[in-house]
Every structure is written in structure tokens, then in C-alpha cells.
Structure 1
Amino acid sequence: MRADRLVSLVLLLRRHGRLTADTLARELGVSTRTVLRDIDALSVAGVPVYAERGRHGGFALLPGFRTELTGLNHDEALALLAAGPGRGEQVFGLGPALASALRKVVDALPEGHRATASDAAGRFLVDPETDLLSRRPVTDEVPGAAMIEIRRAVLAGHKLRIHYAATGRVPQWRTVDPIGLVTVRDRGYLLATRSGADRTYRLSRVLAAEELPEPAQRPGRVDLDRIWRERSARFLGDGHLTVLVRVDPARREDLLDMAVAVRAEEPDADGRLRLELTFQDARHAEWALWQLGTDAEALAPQSLRTALHDRAAAMAGRYADPS
């Protein structure tokens, strides 16, 4: 266990250049004191780790230090083989590259690990094509040539021209500064800026793309997770409808599948769940709650309750006994 941790520590320093003891402890899941002991062990073993003092200090490796740390243990190989066939390779067009990489991982394993890791990975299934209700997920389809250009521009830090079909609009060419790619529930997004303003583009709506030679205007390092959270918060607060709902716990997942986001959730006194949900608009909320019948009740806003009441009354009138 400690040997694996020492290897991970060296790899972290090689990747990031300089990290504080607190950051290393958080990444490795150990205490700061353990990290300091590991640093001492590496120094004794001849690994040139040095400390930089001051406000922006930390630990780093001497420039140019390289060593081969390519060995994978059984659980590391198993993690790659089991988690590899996920969503990202489908949305970002990396399926063939991932398959090739996994073949190399298996081939590089020691003979004793190769068969056991492959057999164990075959007992894990991540994100099958259908769920227990035989519903197939809807995966975004992105033209292969366009996806290659998008990936190249993102990785090279170049500007990108995309032929984009926004909802309800005629497709147009636009030039953007790409920041990164995100996949959420089999949907891919390009995070970018355009003329300095934040923009988020659905990859399935990109009809064509072209990497440009000019460098993109973007920071050298980005925190995609933080950027995505910020943009999601702005999106949810822009013209969407917040609804308070009571729902039978057995129908919770059905309701969440139709909502845009969950803002709050707590149990209600009668065993039901009280949820604060976000929908695209009033029409979307009315449609979603109508699907659940009496298993869900809209508590607010009143306009939604009125709309559902009127729809139910009209339906009851339509099927009333003619006699």
C-alpha cells in the first residue's frame, strides 16, 4: 500500500509541478504527517524532492527528473478495464482510441494478473444500454469529423469555428475560444467563450467544425468542475420555473427523470417526499406532473395547481357517463 502511495505522490508532483502538503494529503487520502514521512522516504531513496518555502511554496521534483513508473497492480488494471467503457468515449468520439488503450493495458499486465483482471472486469457492467424498464438512453450523435476538430482545438488551445444549430434558429457559423468538454448523462457540451462572454454549446447541435491556427483567449489552467457548476447555476436561474411537489417515494425517480434539477428534498409527515424542483417552464411542469397522476401533487405555484385542476376537470367531463 505504501509503495503504491509513494508512486502516486511522485506522479502527482510530475503532473502538477508543485503541490502543498495539504493538497497532497487530500489527493492521496492520508494525513499531512503521512505525506511528510513519505517525502522523507522518497528523499532517502534518491528521488529529488525539494521544498519551496513561502506563501506559494510546496514540494516539487527537480526539473528534468524522470523515472519509469508504469507498473499497474491488479486493482488498478481492474479499475481501468471496468470503468473504461463509459459515456465519455461515446460522446467525444474516443471509442476506438479507448479500445486500443485497454488492449495495451491488458497486454502490459504480468501474465499472472492478465487473466484474472480480464475475468473480474467481465463481472462489472457500467451503464448498460437499457435500464430495468427497457428504456434505452438517448446518446448525442456528433459528426465524427466535427468532433475531431473540436478535440484538436480544445487540446491545442486554438480558436474554433463551429456551424451551430441553436434551438429554433437557422444554423450559423461562429468563432469561439474553447475551454473544455463536458459529458452529462450521455450528452456532450463544449464550454467556450465568444467575444469574452461565457458560452455553452450542445455537441449534438454542432453540424461542422474547423480548428483555426490562432491561439484561443483562455486561461492556462481551468477548473472545469467549478466552471460547470457556475454555468449550471446560471442556467437554472434563467427563465426556469421552480415547483414544490409532494410525491410517492415509489415514483421519485420517474419525476426526477423529467425535471431539470432538484433544489431541495425532505421527507413529508405522511411518508411522501417533498421536493423543490426546476422545470423548463410552466408547460413542462404541467406535462411532467400530469404523467404521475395522483402519485404526485404540485403544492406551488398556485398557477400550476390551477392548470392541473382545469386539465383534470376537462378530462373528467370528456369521460363522464353520457346517461
Structure 2
Amino acid sequence: MRADRLVSLVLLLRRHGRLSATALARELEVSTRTVLRDIEALSAAGVPVYAERGRHGGFALLPGFQTELTGLNHEEALALLVAGSRRGAQAFGLGTALASAMRKVVDALPESYRATAVDAVERLLIDPDTDLLARRQAPDEVPDDVVAEVRRAVFAGHKLRIHYAAAGQEPRWRTVDPIGLVTVREQVYLLATRSGEDRTYRLSRVHAAEELAEPAQRPDRVDLDRAWQERSTRFRTGGDQVTALVRLHPARREDAVGTALAVLDESTDADGWLRLEVTFQDRRHAGWAMWRLATAAEVLEPQWLRAYLHERATAVAARYSDSSPNRWDRSVGPV
């Protein structure tokens, strides 16, 4: 681990010319004390790194220094393979490996176009944290040690113990046979079997994980895309799902379809509005999805959903029935 970090430190200095101990510590995700020890180790090994004092000082390499230490390790190669977006590597706990791998890739580029390639990358942004409406993405938070342990078990083909908290339940230990990891809209799922039955676990609900030495009971090959599609289909057709018949303005079709689990039927009325039969995960999901469409949609069935939307709209209308806002007393609220 330290040898790989020393290589990364050299490559950072080659790329940036001069960096402070604080900047190096941030890039390498270690303490400044560790950076200073690494600098001493590099100097002892004959790498010409020197310190520049002053406000804009830092560490740098002697001009013209070259190194061939650019080989990718297993984690870095894996990070590049899953790095269709940086978020993919982050989701599987490979963000640090991806950063290290990319430094080595840049360092291996011919000098003739290294600068132009780096400049081009700075002009591309993939999956920013917020969209144009400043809505912030909310990815699942999963501890690095949990992701690493699960990932090791998946790759090694070993059984896995997870301390898992299902929705609305206390966490308890389970032993599963891991099949693969899937990331969907900032959420990471473990596909596994337990006692021969398919199971899907949301990684953010795994409090702890332990790779076991016992081999997992699973096929040698897996079509992960097909497995995910099959599980998604079973999820959409089971549980406390709600089916609704809805009239919808065609301009809001994508919004409606994007929130529903499935569209069972679709036709067009004489006035150009769409008539959709859609399913939702449960009553709460149905109420939320229809409310956000406002007057661009009308629920025809079921009656309880119409009543819910009517009650909610009546409450909102009553709140705004007076054109002037209520006076507000900070100590007791509206008066």
C-alpha cells in the first residue's frame, strides 16, 4: 500500500510541478505527517524531491526527472473498467483507486499531447452533484470498509455475513451467497441468494460485513443485467402495489411514466389527453406521484386516491384563501 502511495506522490508532483504537504495529503487521503514521512522515504531512495519555503512553497521534483513506475495494480485496473462515470467507481468503493489510476494514465501519455488531453478533460463534466434547478443528488452513504468487504466476497466467490436492517426492522446477521453489485440512481444493491432463494440487499442498510472462507453456492457465470431485470419485474408485480387509471396531459407523459413502476395500458382520448393505466409501489407512492402532476393529471380510479388528492388540495386552498399572508409571531407561530 505504501509503495503504491509513493508512486502516486511522485506522479502528482510530476503533473502539478509543486504541491504543498496539505494538498498532497488531500489528494492521497492521508495525514500531512504521513506525507512528510513519504517525502523522506523518496529522498532516501534517490528520488530528487526538494522543498521550497515561503507562502507559495511546497514540494517539487528536479526538472527533467522521469520514472517508469506507471504500472496499474489490480484495484486501479478494476476502477478504470467500471469508470463509465466517476460515480460508478465511487459507488463501488473504488474512487481512490480511480484517481490513482488516472494519474498513471496521464503520466504514460506522450509528452506531445499530454497537456492538450488534460485540458480537454477539464472541459467535460459528468453527473454533477446538482442539476440546473440546484437540486442536490443524494447518493447512498455506505462505509468504505463495508463496500470493500462485500466487493471482496463478490470477486472471490466466498460466502458473506452481513448485518442488515430491512425496512422497518431491527438489523440482524444473515449469511448469503453474493452474486454481484448493481448501482442504480446513486443507490448500490447486492444481488445474492440465501438458502437458494434470490435476495436483493440495499448496501446502505448493511451495517457491517464479513467475507467468509467458505465458497459461495453460485454459478460460475452470471448475466447481471438479466438478473437485475428479472428481480425488477418481480418487485414491480408483488407487494402492496396500487394500480390507477389516469387522464394525463401529453406534455407531462415522461414525468408520469418516470415515477410509475409500470404502464399497463395507454390510449388517447378525443381531446388529445392520454389515458394511462399505471402501477405504483404503494399508496404513498401513488399519492406523491399524482400530487406532483397537479392539474396536468386527473385520477379516474381508484376512488380513495381521488379522495386523498381532493382532501389535500382543499387543505392547501384553505391555507391560501386569504390573499394577505398571516402575521407571524416568532415565539408562538401564526397569529
TM-score by length of 2: 0.64
Superposition deviation, residue 316 in structure 1: 5.3
Superposition deviation, residue 231 in structure 1: 0.1
Counterpart contact for 1:84–1:98, Cα < 8 Å = no
Superposition deviation, residue 120 in structure 1: 2.1
Superposition deviation, residue 116 in structure 1: 2.6
Structure-2 residue corresponding to 1:97: 97
Whole-Å separation in 1 of the counterparts to 2:100 and 2:135: 30
Q: Give per-residue Cα distances to partners, 1:120-163, cap 9 Å, x unaligned.
A: 22222111100011111110111111111100000000000000
Whole-Å separation in 2 of the counterparts to 1:262 and 1:309: 24
TM alignment of 1:1-323, pairs within 5 A = 84-239=84-239, 240-249=241-250, 251-252=252-253, 254-255=255-256, 258-261=259-262, 270-313=271-314
The one-letter amino acid paired with 1:167 is A
Q: Give per-residue Cα distances to partners, 1:164-212, cap 9 Å, x unaligned.
A: 0111101000000000000000000000000000000000000000000
Counterpart contact for 1:87–1:183, Cα < 8 Å = no
Identity in percent: 69
The one-letter amino acid paired with 2:123 is R
Q: Cα 1:318–1:173, aligned 2, differ >3 Å: closer, same or farther?
A: same
Q: Cα 1:99–1:84, aligned 2, differ >3 Å: closer, same or farther?
A: farther
In structure 1, stretches of 5+ residues that fail to align are 1-79
Rg: which structure is higher?
Answer: 2
Q: Give per-residue Cα distances to partners, 1:78-105, cap 9 Å, x unaligned.
A: xx79x65432222211100111111122
Q: Give per-residue Cα distances to partners, 1:47-66, cap 9 Å, x unaligned.
A: xxxxxxxxxxxxxxxxxxxx
Counterpart contact for 2:86–2:95, Cα < 8 Å = no
Whole-Å separation in 2 of the counterparts to 1:142 and 1:314: 39
In structure 2, stretches of 5+ residues that fail to align are 1-79, 323-335
TM-score by length of 1: 0.66
Q: Cα 1:314–1:146, aligned 2, differ >3 Å: closer, same or farther?
A: closer
Whole-Å separation in 1 of the counterparts to 2:269 and 2:156: 52
**Number of residue pairs matched by the alignment:** 241
Counterpart contact for 1:180–1:192, Cα < 8 Å = yes
Superposition deviation, residue 111 in structure 1: 2.4
SS in 2 for 1:87: helix
SS in 2 for 1:212: strand
The one-letter amino acid paired with 1:134 is A
RMSD: 2.7
Counterpart contact for 1:241–1:281, Cα < 8 Å = yes
